[in-house]
Amino acid sequence: MQVFERAMNSSVSGEGARAARLSVRNHDRDLAGLTYVYPVLSRRAGGVSIGINLNPNNACNWHCAYCQVPGLVRGKAPAIDLARLEDELHGFVDDLLHGDWMERFVPEGARVIRDIAFSGNGEPTSAVEFPEAVDRVARVREAFGLASAAVPLRLITNGSLMAQARVQEGVRRLAQAGGEVWFKVDGGSAAVIKRINGVRLEPAAVARNLACCAQLCPTWVQTCMFRWNGAAPTTGEIDAYLALLEAAGIDRLEGVLLYGIARPSMQPEAVHLAPLSAVELEAIGDRIEKKGLTVRVSP
């Protein structure tokens, strides 16, 4: 645990670090002082989510307008030090369960581990070591006797690399560990996908990747909706989004996690963005539910 102990001692050495607190608006991934592991107070998970960041180089193959990663660049994950990842996670989980980290940094009432999530500062499946990383994380969870039902493993992904055999193997291993996927779908037309996610991608390709993922592992669609230049998503845009989900297969999906903007974007496109009201998001959620999907709304 030497790597973990040195990092944690460094992270709490100043008054600023001691004063920092997690909140749904503060996702400071340097709070724990680690390379691959960071805590998040997740409004969707409802407690502390232990994040696994396989993109410490801030590189992603997408450029989402609402992304909160500062210094985001195009690219893929670097080589991952799997031993360090496992050491950091083991030490951090031990501190959460048996130390005083929760009391120092997490508000009362939220001091529970809700999940361990592959997310971070880019697309996690771009890491060559992604399948092995899943195994390492599952091993740590088992070592602490954390049941998969209570602390599931999650992959938060844009799904763009799902056709690759390596990624599919990682998703299979996630399923074997009782995990699930949160698959990003923010729009149903090529124009909206380009505007929001910064990539040229046809909806049919997204639907194929989503269907593939859902066949390998329980899969939720994760969707962020907001105003662009003051305008809410149009009826036509919602229709196209629903058509994409139908093309992937409604019966294959666990449901939709529909959420709005809670934290400021760190991208140049931030000037175009504004949140929808809770009523507006609920109305969109109602349309999705009418297609036969479970919907969880987080304004």
Instruction: CATH number of the domain at 129, please.
Output: 3.20.20.70
Q: What is the pTM of this model?
A: 0.89
Residue 17 is predicted with a pLDDT of 41
Q: Looking at the domain assignment, is residue 16 inside a domain?
A: no
Distance CA 198, CA 74 (A): 10
Lowest mean per-residue pLDDT among 82-86, 99-103, 114-118: 99-103
Q: Looking at the domain assignment, is residue 26 inside a domain?
A: no
CB-based contacts of 54, cutoff 8 Å, min separation 6: 36, 77, 80, 118, 120, 122, 124, 126, 127, 129, 130, 133
In the chain, % helix, strand, coil (3-state, to 5) comes to 40, 20, 40
Contact criterion met (CB below 8 Å) for 169 and 177: no
Comparing 143 with 19, which gets the higher pLDDT?
143
Q: pLDDT by residue (tens digit) across 92-101?
A: 999 999 999 9
Q: Looking at the domain assignment, is residue 60 inside a domain?
A: yes
Q: Looking at the domain assignment, is residue 15 inside a domain?
A: no
Domain count, the chain: 1
Q: Looking at the domain assignment, is residue 17 inside a domain?
A: no
Q: Looking at the domain assignment, is residue 22 inside a domain?
A: no
Q: Looking at the domain assignment, is residue 11 inside a domain?
A: no
Query: 286 pLDDT exceeds 80?
Result: yes
Residue 12 is predicted with a pLDDT of 42
pLDDT band at 110 (very low <50, low <70, confident <90, very high): confident
How many C-beta atoms surround the C-beta of residue 280 within 10 A?
Answer: 17
Query: 111 pLDDT exceeds 60?
Result: yes
Q: In which domain, by residue range, is 215 found?
A: 37-297
Instruction: Please give the average per-residue pLDDT across 47-62, as a whole number.
Output: 95
Burial letters for 3-36: b for 16+ Cβ neighbours within 10 Å, e otherwise?
Answer: bbeebbeebeeeeebeebebbeeebebebbbbeb
Q: Looking at the domain assignment, is residue 67 inside a domain?
A: yes
> What would the two tokens of residue 171 be?
């998703």
